[in-house]
Amino acid sequence: MNNIEITKVKYLPELRQIAELADEIWHECFVGIISNGQIDYMVEKFQSLEAMTQQIENQGYSYFAVRDNGELCGYIGVKPESDDRFFLSKLYLHKSRRGKGIASLMLAKVFDEARKIGKKRVYLTVNKHNDHAVDVYKKTGFVVADTAVTDIGCNYVMDDFIMEYKL
């Protein structure tokens, strides 16, 4: 029986654990979607302890830890925009915990957090070739609103769908 807790990350040691988990998940889930070099680059740029500390302190991000029977197994990153949108920046679950209904709890938490501060829409970017994630988002009620190719430096780009969910 799963006992899932989703709590806001408040302390540095917890954020450090999330950085370690992110490193593991990204090097598993993006193989075959982007190059190993791009995975290393993106983990360092977006999910290192330093990067996430900056996001929280200077860019309005919050991170949430997902625990299954007390064990850290996933994380969520979000950011309120200045308009009526809430940005779902990160939704990551360890492979061992997928397919068990936890993703739906994570998405419900995102929607709750957005509603709590009066937002009307949740949006995200997802790699066009990340088929499972796209299916999960579509099943949840997200629709493809646009596409974006974003230059992230060092000759790497993110080739994404922008998906949106109306609260």
Ligand X SMILES: CC(C)(COP(=O)(O)OP(=O)(O)OC[C@H]1O[C@@H](n2cnc3c(N)ncnc32)[C@H](O)[C@@H]1OP(=O)(O)O)[C@@H](O)C(=O)NCCC(=O)NCCS
Residues at the interface with ligand X (CB under 6 A): 29, 91-93, 98-99, 101-104, 126, 130, 132-133, 135-136, 139
Beta strands, E only, the chain: 4-8, 62-68, 71-80, 85-93, 121-127, 143-153, 156-166
Closer Cβ to ligand X, 11 or 149, answer by number: 149
Please report how close the Cβ of residue 102 comes to ligand X at its closest, in angstroms.
6
Structure tokens at 114: 């957005």
3-class DSSP assignment, residue 110: helix
- In the bound complex, which residue of the shown chain has the CB atom lying closest to ligand X? 103
Closer Cβ to ligand X, 9 or 160, answer by number: 160
Burial of residue 17, with CB atoms counted within 10 A of its CB: 0-12 exposed, 13-18 middle, 19 or more buried: middle
Please report how close the Cβ of residue 108 comes to ligand X at its closest, in angstroms.
10
Closer Cβ to ligand X, 9 or 93, answer by number: 93
